[in-house]
């Protein structure tokens, strides 16, 4: 029961990450069975090849390796000293055991709330203490650590090879400056695998309204916001006869149920939106594209506001969002992959889809990574003399996770445990293939990075004025971020 409550709490806190794009890409390269469609090559049976981590064979005679982790990310590094017959837990246990035995180390784990983890790291570094070797932090709140000269660039860790397939390459856009990464992600963090955006649909309602499941639209590359608009048009309706459609009703049906801290981001980034670009030196700059973003916003507005979706803007009422879909009263539900574990108990049949593209000319389906995702960083207090040790163990944990944890997570947990049909399992490959990270969202979450959210809350139709007024403040903010990174690089 405690385990179930933890899962539900994480869901209601919008903590959702799935398989890293770097890992998905590698699985595509090494797959035994693939299917060809006009949307591209899609992995159907991932298979891990043997990739050597090229680490030295050294022993540390019981030396502690000290990790601090968010309490809602226990699956990143379980600490029980035995297996419990739960596949993901036991795979992480096996990873930990193999690394401890291989290098002769002892894992020492500290858990705390995500805000307390940041504070603990900050206090330790500012005091010059050497308390932690590896930190699992909240993506958005943890980004401030990099701006405060509190963490090391991974380029200073000699045995962490970011070109290896167990590291997520797509974090560069959100976290890299001048070719340096202060935070990374990948197979080392199973938690991050469940926090990728997706779209659920109610098969029972699809059958009732004589609609065709969108799986083939996805495979053909034609699953777009326009198609979603067509499917959701005229679906929201009064079913209890009181003359109004109410979120308090137990009968009324909605075309889509969504939350203001999820759907504005998942739809915007899936449609190819991005507020920050990089120059040739990997330095970010604010780069709003008014014409493109006006088109994206107008389509999002049409689906959510124009088609009378249930768009919840109150933190306290988030329960209603999932309940509306769970009770069979919404055609679609925007959320993240970890929601499927709860939805498996609903009476109606459901399927899983990637969030739609802007249009069919867009090359790939793109998936937003929720800000509650774990990110990995190393405190700045790890001295040059200890960086070899720290980097060997980090790389060892990551490479072993690639071999031991990810196949279990991807096949047993994601594809078999949370999905009800083979088509939805296939959709997971589309969902995880291209996760996106935007520096505006990561570092300016309550400003520039949230303009779609703020406009939808107001029911506004014009984005031009909003984006233009951000330009000056966004430029200053990005310049301050670059300066902070530069300072860290010089230390």
Tens of pLDDT, residue by residue over 363-388, are 999 999 888 888 999 999 999 999 99
Low-confidence ranges of the chain (pLDDT < 50): 1-48
> Measured between alpha carbons, how far is 239 from 329 in angstroms, rounded to an integer?
10
**Alpha-carbon gap, residue 272 to 366, rounded angstroms:** 7
Q: What is the CATH code of the structural domain delimited by 2-194+371-418?
A: 3.40.190.10
pLDDT at 31: 38
Question: For residues 399 and 95, is the Cβ–Cβ distance under 8 A?
Answer: no
Domain ranges in the chain with CATH number 3.40.190.10: 2-194+371-418, 197-368+433-490
Report the pLDDT value the prediction gives residue 413, as an integer from 0 to 100: 66
Integer Cα distance of 191 and 88 in angstroms: 11
**What's residue 79's pLDDT?**
63
pLDDT at 94: 93
> Residue 386: its pLDDT value, please?
96
- pLDDT at 168 (0 to 100): 83
Residue 35: CB atoms within 10 A of its CB come to 13
The reply to whether CATH 3.40.50.300 applies to domain 197-368+433-490 is: no
| pLDDT value for 42 | 44
User: Which one, of 112, 6, 103, 20, lies nearest residue 69 by Cα?
Assistant: 112
Name the residue among 421, 471, 439, 399 with its Cα closest to residue 187: 399
pLDDT value at position 296?
A: 96
pLDDT score for 432: 82
E-assigned strand segments in 7-117: 33-37, 40-45, 63-70, 105-112
Residues with Cβ within 8 Å of 135's Cβ and at least 6 positions away in sequence, in order, are 67, 68, 69, 117, 121, 142, 151, 376, 377, 378, 379
Residue 424: what pLDDT? Answer: 86
Q: Residues 37, 364: contact at Cβ < 8 Å?
A: no
Share above pLDDT 90 across residues of the chain, in percent, rounded to a whole number: 52
Q: How far is CA 415 from CA 77, 419, 426, in A?
A: 22, 6, 8
Residue identified by tokens 């799986």 is 215
pTM above 0.85, yes or no: no
């Amino acid at each position: 029961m405690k385990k179930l409550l933890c899962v539900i709490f994480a869901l209601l806190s919008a903590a959702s990450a799935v398989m890293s794009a770097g890992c998905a890409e590698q699985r595509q390269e090494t797959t035994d069975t693939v299917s060809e469609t006009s949307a591209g090559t899609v992995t159907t049976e991932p298979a891990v090849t043997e990739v050597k981590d090229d680490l030295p064979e050294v022993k540390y005679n019981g030396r502690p390796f000290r990790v601090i982790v968010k309490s809602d990310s226990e699956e990143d590094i379980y600490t029980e000293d035995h297996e419990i017959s739960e596949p993901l837990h036991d795979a992480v246990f096996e990873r930990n055991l193999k690394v401890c035995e291989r290098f002769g180390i002892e894992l020492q784990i500290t858990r705390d709330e995500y805000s307390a983890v940041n504070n603990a790291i900050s206090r330790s570094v500012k005091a010059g203490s050497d308390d932690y070797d590896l930190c699992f932090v909240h993506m958005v709140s943890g980004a401030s650590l990099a701006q405060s000269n509190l963490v090391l660039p991974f380029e200073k860790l000699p045995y962490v090879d970011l070109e290896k397939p167990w590291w997520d390459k797509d974090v560069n856009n959100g976290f890299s400056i001048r070719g340096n990464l202060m935070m990374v992600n990948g197979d080392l963090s199973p938690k991050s695998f469940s926090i990728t955006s997706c779209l659920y649909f109610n098969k029972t309602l699809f059958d009732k309204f004589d609609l065709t499941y969108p799986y083939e639209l996805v495979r053909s590359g034609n699953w777009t916001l326009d198609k979603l608009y067509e499917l959701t048009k005229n679906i929201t309706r009064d079913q209890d006869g009181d003359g109004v459609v109410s979120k308090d009703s137990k009968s009324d049906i909605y075309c889509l149920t969504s939350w203001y801290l999820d759907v504005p981001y998942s739809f915007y980034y899936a449609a190819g939106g991005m507020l920050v670009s990089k120059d040739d030196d990997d330095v970010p700059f604010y780069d709003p594209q008014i014409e493109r973003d006006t088109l994206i916003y107008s389509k999002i507005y049409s689906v959510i506001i124009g088609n009378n979706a249930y768009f919840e803007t109150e933190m306290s009422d988030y329960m209603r969002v999932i309940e509306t879909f769970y009770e069979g009263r919404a055609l679609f539900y925007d959320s993240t992959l970890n929601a499927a574990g709860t939805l498996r108990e609903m009476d109606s049949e459901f399927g899983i889809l990637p969030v739609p593209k802007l249009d069919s000319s867009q090359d790939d389906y793109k998936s937003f990574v929720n800000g509650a995702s774990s990110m990995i960083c190393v405190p700045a207090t790890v001295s040059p003399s200890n960086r070899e040790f720290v980097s060997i163990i980090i790389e060892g944990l990551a490479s072993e996770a690639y071999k031991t944890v990810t196949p279990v997570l991807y096949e047993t947990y994601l594809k078999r445990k949370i999905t009800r049909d083979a088509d939805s399992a296939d959709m997971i490959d589309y969902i995880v293939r291209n996760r996106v990270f935007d520096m505006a969202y990561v570092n300016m979450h309550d400003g520039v990075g949230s303009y779609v959210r703020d406009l939808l809350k107001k029911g506004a139709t014009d984005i031009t004025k909003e984006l233009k007024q951000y330009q000056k403040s966004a430029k200053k903010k990005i310049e301050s971020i670059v300066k902070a990174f530069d300072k860290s690089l010089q230390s």
